[in-house]
Amino acid sequence: MRSIRRNLVSVIIATMTLVSFYAALQGYRSSMKQANQLFDAELQTYAASLQMAANQQGVLPMPDNTTVAFQVFKDNALVFRSNNAPDQQITAFNQGFSDKNFARSRWRTFTQFHQPLGIWVVVAQRWDKRFELAEGITLASVYPTVLSLPLMAILIWLIVSQGLHSLKSIAKQLQHKKADDLEPVTINRIPLELKHIIETTNALFHRLDEAFSREKRFASDAAHELKTPLSVLKINAYNLSKAQTSSEDIALFDDGVERMSHVIDQILSLYKTSPEQFDASLEPTDLYTLCQNSIAQLYPQIDAKDQHIELHGQSCIINAQPFSIATLLQNLVTNASKYTPSQGEIYLAVEQNDKTVVLTVEDSGPGIPEQQHQRVLERFYRVGGDRHNSGIQGCGLGLSIVNQIARLHHGTLALSHSKFNSGLKVTLTLPAGEAHHA
Amino acid sequence: MRRWWLGGLIFVPAMSWGDREEFHIEIRNHLFYPAEIQVPSNTKIKLRITNLDETPEEFDSFDLNREKVIFPKRTATIFIGPLPPGEYTFFGEYNPNSATGKVIVKGNSNAN
Amino acid sequence: MLINSVVLFLRDALPLLLFISILSAIIYLRTNSLGWLVKATFFGVLGTVVLSAFIDRVSEGFDGFGFELLTATIHIMAYLSVLLFLRFNSIVLATVAVSLLLSVHGTNLYIYSSGFWSSASVNVNNALLIGSILGFGISFSLALLLYYGLSASMMERWSKLPMVVLALTAARQITEAVYFLIQADWLPTGQPLWNTSAWLSDSSEFGHLINALIGYEASPSAVQVGLHLLALVIPLFMIMKLNQQPTVTEVTP
């Protein structure tokens, strides 16, 4: 498993190590270079000071731990030397620095000719000793870099862990959540990076919670709604079994079956257009054409009640799933026809605004009292409740389906009084589609 | 003398090893003796290095493009050149501060 | 002495660690396991022990060029293992390649430690220790960063990048082998084609890094350049072919 903390800690420590070690190396290099220059300068001073020994002769004993040796030549003859220098000439008489091997070591040599005295001075310093001295000093500056690394690593680890604390806290809350616990997750002082994750997660929990309670209500409502036609059917069936078959009984039986299949159809529509099932592939669709189709399809029913229907407007493109919108229109027009008395009026209009497309459906039926406008959108709610006195078949799902489809298309649904003396006006506002879309 | 050539496709001037001039260097107390050798220019030469110490040493030279480990009490061979005149430094990788030296390539006209 | 122990790590530990990190990044994404690396380390350490025990005798063989020839052979075998790995996608071949390279680089580090750490002085030993820590720290950090970089690149658009980097390091093995073959006089030395040491020296830290990654050489000869390019073109060609394969299988039903 990839771990954000492990990756971050590794990469940060590796980068810090690389940079600090490289810096230490460069520091070491330049210190050593400077130490070298210092030692060379020291050798030059030493050579200069040996002028004093112009008249000395023999071998000068040096302390055991000395790092330098010298030779003094007069008239090309070795006259004076340190006891650690060989009695042969160390290096050729060329003024300046060079490197030579003698006395089982490599030496840095400096040769100088003192004109007035006529002497050649050769001074030498052991390479290994001067290197050791320089390195001893330089290393002291490198130690802290190396020794502080473990400390730095621990600090980085702690800092990154602390930085990821809120992430860990959220993960822990989610991990320990019970399946039916849909309460939102919370942490103190939400960091910017987690804001979206927490908001989205909590919104999801909220929707799930709503969906669960809706489903629970829906199941009991559906059972109730199916039970009424069933008991009617049962009586009808009993009557039929007594063989006192009358055409009225058969008509009632038919009615019962019709009502049940309508309820089941509506439940199916509701299910198909539920947000969980909805296929979000929207396509440019002409709302006006869909209205024409719906009216044509439902015309026999409207004609049977001798109602007058009108459609106004022109072609308007919306981004929609045509099947869902057709279901929506069917429900609206059916409702209008159902609740409007014979020879009543139904008026449809499709209107293109700047960014929206507005569909209105008005009828001259009894309308819905304003205080119930919200409730009729709930599922299985019917005006007047079970004692619905319109004598009209319905299960109270129509407007729920319409509302659900409207929301899926990012539209809004509003109810108001129609332009007729009485009646309902349904206003559906949908975002306009891309007109230039193919 | 047995010679191994990869594939036989690569042309190498026909010249037996015996013809090549040999130079000797010894390693004692982690130092090269002699620390400077003079070789002729534009000639391939054979450098034989004997390690008299108890520890291995690596003959290393960025200038000559060579690195060769010489094990204790053994002699190793390195071919260098043909080289244009100039100074080519080398060092003992394991004792780089003291074990240093150079190959001085003398031009043909100056050869003595 | 500090710089030299850093350089030895840059020369022997860095190429090995970079090679391991590239293969690890490629393999880990496929298998989510680094078990193969444990095996490779085991065999590599075993190889180091065996080689270290015999290396001074081996170096005497082949007219004194045994060490060069063995090293060259191992690098060539590692190169071939990478080619076969690219072709057959078998983790065993990656294990073989890493074991081989660990053996040869491990032996170099062993020779170094036996030659280096003999100095008695405390100061020198401290310098060697600090140098080793710096050298290992730098090498390991670079390898780790390369690993994370390649792992990230595989999830993004540049999914071929790790394979290309693997091809580059594979070609480096051939450059290394050619270097030793030239030293053993099996390949002609030749004049350098160019010299870029003023621009990027072989002995600088960055020079070592580029050498470890792609086999950079400041003043290569024609043979070195030619064989390097050949060694690079073969795996690159194989990677190109590998990338075409999925489209071919899609077309044929």
Residue appearing with tokens 């008239």: A75
- The SS3 of residue A28 is helix
Closest CA to C225 of C180, C184, C194: C194
Q: Is B74 on the interface with C (CB under 8 A)?
A: yes
At C85 the pLDDT is 93
Interface test mutation site (partner A, options B31, B89, B90, max chain A beta carbons within 10 A): B31
Q: State the Cα–Cα distance between residues A333 and A295, nearest whole angstrom.
A: 7
Q: Which domains does chain A have, with CATH numbers?
A: 4-156 (3.30.450), 279-431 (3.30.565.10)
CB A79 within 8 A of CB A41: no
- Ranges of beta strands (E only) in A144-215 are none
**Contact yes or no for C59 and B69 at CB 8 A:** yes
Give, as one character, the DSSP assignment of residue A184: P
Closest CA to B105 of B60, B47, B53: B47
Q: Where are the alpha helices (DSSP H) in A242-350?
A: 247-272, 287-304, 322-339
3-state helix, strand, coil in chain A (%, to 5): 55, 20, 25
Residues of B in contact with A28 (CB under 8 A): none
Backbone phi and psi for residue B50, each to the nearest 5 degrees, phi listed first: -110, 130
Give, as one character, the DSSP assignment of residue C192: B
**Contact yes or no for B97 and A104 at CB 8 A:** no
> Which tokens sit at C97?
């390649």
Is omega for the bond preceding B82 within 30 degrees of 0, making it cis? yes
Chain A touching partners, 3 or more CB pairs below 8 A: B, C
pLDDT tens-digit profile of A212-267? 887 777 777 777 777 777 887 788 778 777 766 667 777 777 777 887 888 788 87
Residues of A in contact with B97 (CB under 8 A): 106, 127-128, 131
Q: Is B11 on the interface with C (CB under 8 A)?
A: yes
Q: Going by C-beta distance under 8 Å and a sequence separation of 6 or more, which residues neighbour residue A216?
A: none
At C117 the pLDDT is 67
Mean pLDDT check: name the lowest of A100-104, B5-9, C205-209: B5-9
CA separation (Å) from C249 to A13, A26, B79? 44, 54, 54
Residue appearing with tokens 């990839």: A2
In the predicted model, residues of chain C with pLDDT beneath 50 are 246-253
Per-residue pLDDT band for A169 (boundaries 50, 70, 90) equals: confident
Highest mean pLDDT: which of A99-113, A272-286, C38-52? C38-52
Interface test mutation site (partner B, options C5, C11, C56, max chain B beta carbons within 10 A): C56
Residues of C in contact with B69 (CB under 8 A): 59, 67, 111
CA separation (Å) from B64 to A145, A357, C220? 35, 84, 11
pLDDT tens-digit profile of A112-150? 998 888 889 999 999 888 888 888 889 988 999 899 999
**Contact yes or no for B35 and A99 at CB 8 A:** yes
CB A190 within 8 A of CB A166: yes
In chain A, what percentage of residues exceed pLDDT 90?
A: 23
- The SS3 of residue C3 is helix
CB A77 within 8 A of CB A93: no
Burial A141-164 (b: 16+ CB within 10 A, else e): ebeebbeebeeebeebbeebeeee
At C243 the pLDDT is 64
Cα dihedral A29, A30, A34, A37, rounded to 10, equals: 60
> Which tokens sit at B89?
């430094």
Q: State the Cα–Cα distance between residues A221 and A381, nearest whole angstrom.
A: 9
At A280 the pLDDT is 67
At A236 the pLDDT is 77
Residue appearing with tokens 């030239």: C182
At B111 the pLDDT is 40
* pLDDT surpasses 80 at A13: yes
Closest CA to A173 of A185, A165, A183, A161: A185
Q: How large is the average pLDDT for residues A30-40?
A: 94
At A244 the pLDDT is 63
Q: Is B23 on the interface with C (CB under 8 A)?
A: no
> Which tokens sit at B61?
């030279």
CB A20 within 8 A of CB A149: yes
* pLDDT surpasses 70 at A427: yes
* pLDDT surpasses 90 at A399: no
- The SS3 of residue A144 is helix
Please tell me which of the candidates B12, B71, B94 has its beta carbon nearest to residue C56. Answer: B71
For residue C207, the surrounding DSSP H or E stretch is: helix C205-214
Residues of A in contact with C141 (CB under 8 A): 13-15, 17-18, 21
Q: Which domains does chain B have, with CATH numbers?
A: 19-110 (2.60.40.420)
Q: How large is the average pLDDT for residues B51-75?
A: 88
- Mean pLDDT taken over chain A: 85
Render C58-107 in DSSP notation, one character per residue.
HTTHHHHTHHHHHHHHHHHHHHHHHHHHHHH--HHHHHHHHHHHHHHHHH
Q: How large is the average pLDDT for residues B29-47?
A: 89
Q: How large is the average pLDDT for residues A91-98?
A: 90
Mean pLDDT check: name the lowest of A16-25, A72-81, A180-189, A421-430: A180-189
β-pairing, A96-102 with B45-51?
Answer: unpaired
Vertex A184 angle, CA A180 and A185, to 5°:
105
In chain B, what percentage of residues exceed pLDDT 90?
A: 21
Does pTM top 0.90 for this prediction?
A: no
**Contact yes or no for C188 and B10 at CB 8 A:** yes
CB A111 within 8 A of CB A122: yes
Looking at the complex, report in whole angstroms how far the Cα of residue C186 sits from the nearest Cα belonging to chain B.
Answer: 5
Q: Going by C-beta distance under 8 Å and a sequence separation of 6 or more, which residues neighbour residue B10?
A: C187, C188, C223
At C20 the pLDDT is 95
At C115 the pLDDT is 74
Q: Where are the alpha helices (DSSP H) in A78-117?
A: none
> Which tokens sit at C45?
């350490």
- Ranges of beta strands (E only) in A75-232 are 77-82, 96-102, 105-114, 119-126
At C247 the pLDDT is 41
